């Protein structure tokens, strides 16, 4: 079995279902001029693509985003243990942030350097429990088997980054783990990969 229990991360199929559900609701909310259904898509995708802790994502300000350089990154300030770190992000996250920033401007939400990226309708930064409620709704609507918490997005990021790169040190740095031993849970073979490899063992 994997060092990371199955219920703690989302399969690729579950991630795709979640993306589709949140995207469709976000687009419908934009068409209707509503705000409530827009923000869950962007903060959940932000956590998934950057692998941040939910508490870190909620504290991100626009000044912490450096997405115009050749090596785009998010600067995490005062992460776990009071540590700062640089988290490199894919170009897809650059596109999503630019799209979200334009939407915020259209609905007159502040987008200055000292403003939080993700705020409530009262302009306060999101609390981690707010994102937990969003993920619980995803789980309930889609009837997913995993825990489907904000932290499961972080686990999913780390697991699939390791599967792609086989670079445990990279995963450790992205996650901000002090000890690489904490990161080794992502280096074990997942049940899905084990099953697929066994299934194809005799296939020519």
Residue 151 a catalytic site member: yes
Sign of the alpha-carbon dihedral angle for 87, 91, 95, 96: negative
Residue 53 a catalytic site member: yes
- Catalytic one among 80, 94, 147, 173? 80
Contact present, 88 and 76 (Cβ < 8 Å): no
Beta strands in the chain (DSSP E): 65-66, 73-76, 85-88
Nearest CA-CA partner of 159 in 133, 118, 127, 191: 191
- Catalytic one among 6, 85, 147, 177? 177
Residue 8 a catalytic site member: no
Residue 186 a catalytic site member: yes
Number of H helices, E strands in the chain: 9, 3
- Catalytic one among 41, 154, 160, 162? 154
Residue 155 a catalytic site member: no
Residue 80 a catalytic site member: yes
To the nearest 10°, report the CA torsion of 130, 136, 138, 144. Answer: 160
- Phi-psi group of 146: left, alpha or beta (phi > 0 → left; psi -120 to 50 → alpha; rest → beta): beta
Contact present, 83 and 176 (Cβ < 8 Å): yes
- Catalytic one among 30, 61, 151, 173? 151
- Catalytic one among 53, 59, 139, 155? 53
To the nearest 10°, report the CA torsion of 92, 154, 78, 114. Answer: 30
Please list the active-site residues.
Answer: 53, 80, 151, 154, 177, 186
């Amino acid at each position: 079995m994997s060092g990371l229990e199955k219920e703690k991360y989302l399969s690729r199929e579950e991630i795709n279902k979640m993306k589709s559900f949140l995207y469709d609701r976000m687009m419908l909310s934009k068409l209707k001029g509503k705000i409530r259904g827009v923000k869950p898509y962007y903060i959940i995708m932000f956590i998934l693509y950057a692998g941040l802790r939910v508490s870190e994502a909620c504290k991100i300000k626009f000044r912490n985003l450096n997405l115009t350089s050749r090596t785009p990154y998010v600067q995490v300030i005062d992460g776990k243990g009071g540590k700062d770190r640089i988290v490199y992000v894919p170009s897809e996250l650059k596109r999503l942030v630019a799209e979200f920033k334009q939407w915020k401007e259209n609905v007159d939400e502040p987008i200055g350097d000292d403003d939080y990226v993700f705020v409530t309708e009262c302009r306060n930064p999101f609390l981690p429990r707010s994102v937990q409620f969003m993920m619980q709704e995803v789980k309930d609507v889609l009837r997913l088997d995993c825990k489907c918490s904000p932290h499961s997005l972080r686990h999913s990021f780390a697991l699939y980054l390791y599967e792609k790169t086989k670079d445990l040190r990279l995963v450790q740095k992205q996650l901000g783990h002090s000890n690489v031993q904490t990161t080794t849970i992502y280096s074990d073979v997942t049940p899905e990969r084990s099953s697929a490899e066994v299934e194809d063992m005799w296939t020519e």
